[in-house]
Structure 1
Amino acid sequence: MAETKREIERKYEATDETRLPDLTRAPGVSAVQDRGVDELDAVYYDTADLRLAAGSLTLRRRTGGGDAGWHLKLPVAPGVRDEIRAPLDDTLPESLAGLLRSRTLGGEVAPVVRLLSSRAVRHLLDDAGTLLAEVSVDTVLAERLGEDGGATASWKEIEVELADGADPGLLDAVEKRLRKAGVRPSTAPSKLARALAETTPAPPAADPATRPPALGEDTAGGRVLAYVREQVEAIVRYDPAVRRELPDAVHKMRVATRRLRSAFKTYGKVLDRTVTDPIGEELKWLAGELGVARDQEVLAAHLADRVDAVPDTLLLGPVRARLRVWDAAVGADARRTALAALDSDRHLALLRTLHALVADPPLRKAAHRDAPKVLTKAVGKDYDRLAGRVDRALSLPPGHERDLALHGARKAAKRTRYAAEAATPALGKPVKRFARRIKSVQSLLGDHQDSVVARETLRTLAIQAHAAGEPAFVWGLLYGREEALGAALEDRFPEVWKRTSATKTRAAVGF
């Protein structure tokens, strides 16, 4: 059974002459307790092309110390990682293998580095004897394994790891004492990174004649590919987060799929759509599978808020209980759907295709042109498409057809916003402001669509309540409120749209 520990630590360079200063002079530290020396033996695993290391992940099997076992470390923020631990089996536990799937692409991991560490441990305690942090001085011997094996490296370093629940400000206080003693932060983000850097054989010099022509940063292709790589990396990064049920992970992964699919459509003059359209269809499938869970999450929160707003005197029947039962049933199915998609061969094939696309992008002639002209024209084309959908929606009377048209306009607004955000590094502040205005349109239309979906669900819940002999009054009340909200949003929409379609806005952007 895997367990997770949030690891907040800092690393420092050390030599044989380095001595720890008196850390009781750091505010809050009352005592330093010597905990002896641990002998640690860790073998680190990766793919042949070191994809885990490239993503700042580390996977090791370690013996010695108080936490022997398999450890997978996933980056959270600078100096912060989640360490997921599993028992000390001979083979990689399935609980960790699944979290690595988006990086390994179904391939095997093998030993790449062995680290032998002699760790002198000290505990920093407060005046009540509570652990604040662990300070360790590590003497490390690294040995490269595998085909490139044989090279070794050695060094000493200091680690300061914050205890669970301790004030992060303590790390600043300890660092101040260390710096005064001449100790400086490590330039390596991890032991593995340092070991790889110091034991990697020098690569053979590349023949300039065989190198493909590089895209300049200011070319259309350079800008679009930077955006594409960012979204592909987001899909890969949020895969294990979705599996771990981290907050907002499904939403962020789904957004990345949509941004990428939109970029393929918007920038078809840069990337060949005969190649990217089939990938876009697979991204649409993945977003749809993830969307079941995300849409349920949003809708459940929306309805819970609406129920909470009903006065107790009007809350007739087991309304909250029925809402919880509905959410639990639909939510469990949605979760299974998302995980099944991530575990499928289809998703694995998509990840491999995205990896290949980034490595060898299907560039068209426009990719080599200056970015501003190509990107401006593409954003303008998406905006015109949005304007056409808005005009059609506003020409329809209120009702089902207009709801569908407004939903279509929302999708077009999202694509236009994504196009503008991708172009912002090349086009600057005017397009950034334009993207914010389009986002306001998208947000309002999103609220409207949420209201439409909520009404459909409220009608279903009312039918179920009536069939069970429960009062359906509250569900009808909430339906009426959602209907009024939808009408109010439709009344506001023309003014919000007017701010984005003003002549001065288009002139500032350049289309």
Structure 2
Amino acid sequence: MTHHAGGVPSIAVKRGGAEDIMQETELKLELSQSGARSLLKKNPFGSPPTILQQRSIYFDTTGWDLSKRGLSLRIRQSGNERVQTLKAGDGAAAGSFTREEWERPVAGDTPILDDPRIRDLLAGDGPKLTPLFEVHVKRHRWNVIEGDATVEVALDTGKVVAADREAPLCEIELEKKAGSSRALFALARKVDLITPTHLGVLSKAERGYRLLGSAPGAVKSAATPLTSDMSAATAFARIAAACLKQFRLNETALGWSRDADALHQARVSLRRLRSLCSICKSLFDDSRFDHLREELKWLASELGEARNIDVMIGRASSEALSSRLQDARDDAYAAVEASLSSVRARSLMIDATEWISIGDWRTQSDEKLHEQSSRNLALGVFDKFWKKVAKGGSDLIDADDETRHKVRIAAKKLRYAAEFFEPLYNGNAEAKRHRRFIKAMKGLQDHLGSLNDIATAPDMLATLELSDVAGAKDLFSAEDKSKLLKDAAEAHDAFVNTRRFWR
């Protein structure tokens, strides 16, 4: 079975003192405090909840050495009982991964680290551990029968406390105890009918570390841990989960402020996921694939106008145009907020998570394609899109806008693929070639992107009824385009002459 975390259900292997091993599949949802009250009032879970008060203390070094290695260590008090838990994952904040957990009862609020495997994991950091933050929650817990499955539902309301800061916490964890994982998603949809819920992608530990750091803003993509012996299907699921997590973190940031970078990165994460589906489409033979790809396209397009206006504001040369664009920006961001809070957008995140983790493509497609190595999959993708960019961009200066747009899309897919599969090329020579290749790709993409901005500006200005405003024509001048075409042609030559890191 492929293991997932982040936005995708996580599977954890729990090891207690008696070496009992258990697999645990979870789905996390975020909701508002008023939503939690509505849920408790309607209680769709068929029985009264068990109520617990919990306090968890999280430990690390002052330099966050455990967190950097993908570890979290906590002591959770519930009533008179205290349980210490060490979780070990891949160290990937944005990926799907198998994680192991070691649990043991403890008497107080000081970690007990006498297990030799735990000492090995801590790598000598045990004596330097200090309490960093606490999580206080009131937990309402139900055991629910959903179809053929048994699911533990835990509604946690409370706060994360770090030094002089605190942040509210309100989330639901759905944990499969027996039966089909589809029950988690069926329950998630039932909850969303009662109160709006969003896919949760942060662990409680991650919330604490974020509270200790600077205010979270735009979140860029990060490398997803992959290995050369990993199957293509597993690699796809990990990268897809990372894209979903990046989107949700930027969507959350947009809920706090109309930050242009957060909007851009939210859109990038959706484009990356669509590109991933496109370059890996040989893996899929199921009816949900095309529908989900269209829904991702819809959501990305809902962010498109706001992003285009942000780009034009950055290039506006007159006060009059800048002022009018700012007014248009307010309207565009209001539309973005409405789209992101819609049932359609919330459902898409749940549907995509279900499809990635347990979709029919896992059983209905060609098993040989799924089980091929991730590196073999990457090799075919790189060759295909390198040829498209090399051939399609051979005459950028005389090509029409539509041809250049196609080259830009192919270049984007190649660049994303190179970033997705970067961890598979981590030898010194390969890594150097990879860096040079990405640099050449970035140069080409920047010029093609600027040319696309010039090509789309007239229609965008006309839509906003700003074509006649002073400075509008500066956004698509022939002089700028002529220089960009020469620069793009030179960048294409540099790209073609840059050694391919995968060959």
Give the secondary structure class of the aligned counterpart of 1:186: strand
Amino acid aligned to 2:293: G
Q: 1:221 aligns with which of 233, 246, 263?
A: 233
Q: Which residue of 2 aligns with 1:436?
A: 439
Amino acid aligned to 1:142: S
1:509 aligns with 2:486: no
Q: 5 Å matches for 1:462-501?
A: 464-465=468-469, 472=470, 475=472, 478=474, 482-501=477-496
1:446 aligns with 2:444: no
Q: Which residue of 1 aligns with 2:250?
A: 238
Q: 1:111 to 1:422 in 2, by over 3 A?
A: farther
Please give the root-mean-square deviation of Cα atoms over the aligned residues, in Å.
4.4
1:253 aligns with 2:266: yes
Per-residue displacement from partner, 1:480-502 (whole Å, max 9, x unpaired)? Answer: 7x321111010122221111112
Q: 1:370 to 1:432 in 2, by over 3 A?
A: farther
Q: Which residue of 2 aligns with 1:186?
A: 131
Q: Which residue of 2 aligns with 1:269?
A: 282
Give the secondary structure class of the aligned counterpart of 1:499: helix
Give the secondary structure class of the aligned counterpart of 2:421: helix
Q: 1:333 to 1:154 in 2, by over 3 A?
A: farther
Q: Which residue of 2 aligns with 1:297?
A: 310
Give the secondary structure class of the aligned counterpart of 2:53: strand
Amino acid aligned to 1:251: H
Give the secondary structure class of the aligned counterpart of 1:505: coil
| Residue 297 (structure 1) shift | 1.3
| Residue 405 (structure 1) shift | 2.2
Q: Which residue of 2 aligns with 1:403?
A: 401
d(CA) in 1 for partners of 2:76 and 2:237? 40
* Structure with bigger gyration radius: 1
1:336 aligns with 2:334: yes
Q: 1:330 to 1:420 in 2, by over 3 A?
A: same
Aligned residues with identical type, % of pairs: 21
| Residue 374 (structure 1) shift | 2.1
Q: Comparing both chains, which one has the higher relative contact order based on Cα–Cα distances under 8 Å and sequence gaps of 6 or more?
A: 2
Per-residue displacement from partner, 1:346-380 (whole Å, max 9, x unpaired)? Answer: 21221121110222142443121122222111121
Q: 5 Å matches for 1:273-288?
A: 274-288=287-301
d(CA) in 2 for partners of 1:203 and 1:337? 37
Query: 5+ unaligned residues in a row in structure 1: which ranges?
Result: 1-47, 60-69, 71-88, 98-109, 118-138, 145-151, 159-178, 207-214, 308-319, 397-401, 466-471
Give the secondary structure class of the aligned counterpart of 2:78: strand
Are the aligned partners of 2:415 and 2:441 in contact in 1 as well (CA < 8 Å)?
yes
Q: 1:443 to 1:193 in 2, by over 3 A?
A: farther
Are the aligned partners of 1:383 and 1:416 in contact in 2 as well (CA < 8 Å)?
yes
d(CA) in 1 for partners of 2:134 and 2:438? 35
| Residue 420 (structure 1) shift | 1.5
| Residue 280 (structure 1) shift | 1.0
Q: Which residue of 1 aligns with 2:150?
A: none
Are the aligned partners of 1:441 and 1:497 in contact in 2 as well (CA < 8 Å)?
yes
| Residue 156 (structure 1) shift | 4.5
| Residue 438 (structure 1) shift | 1.6
| Residue 270 (structure 1) shift | 2.8
Per-residue displacement from partner, 1:308-364 (whole Å, max 9, x unpaired)? Answer: xxxxxxxxxxxx14531x223311221122112112222122112111022214244
Q: 1:347 to 1:236 in 2, by over 3 A?
A: same
Q: Which residue of 2 aligns with 1:142?
A: 78
d(CA) in 2 for partners of 1:140 and 1:463? 61
Give the secondary structure class of the aligned counterpart of 2:130: coil
| Residue 381 (structure 1) shift | 0.8
Count of aligned positions: 326
Give the secondary structure class of the aligned counterpart of 1:391: coil
Q: 5 Å matches for 1:33-48?
A: none
| Residue 243 (structure 1) shift | 2.2
Name whichever of 453-462 and 290-299 sits farther off: 453-462
> How does the TM-score come out when normalised to structure 2?
0.55
Q: Which residue of 1 aligns with 2:322?
A: 323
Q: 1:187 to 1:270 in 2, by over 3 A?
A: farther
| Residue 92 (structure 1) shift | 4.4
Amino acid aligned to 1:221: A
Give the secondary structure class of the aligned counterpart of 1:501: helix
Q: 1:392 to 1:271 in 2, by over 3 A?
A: farther
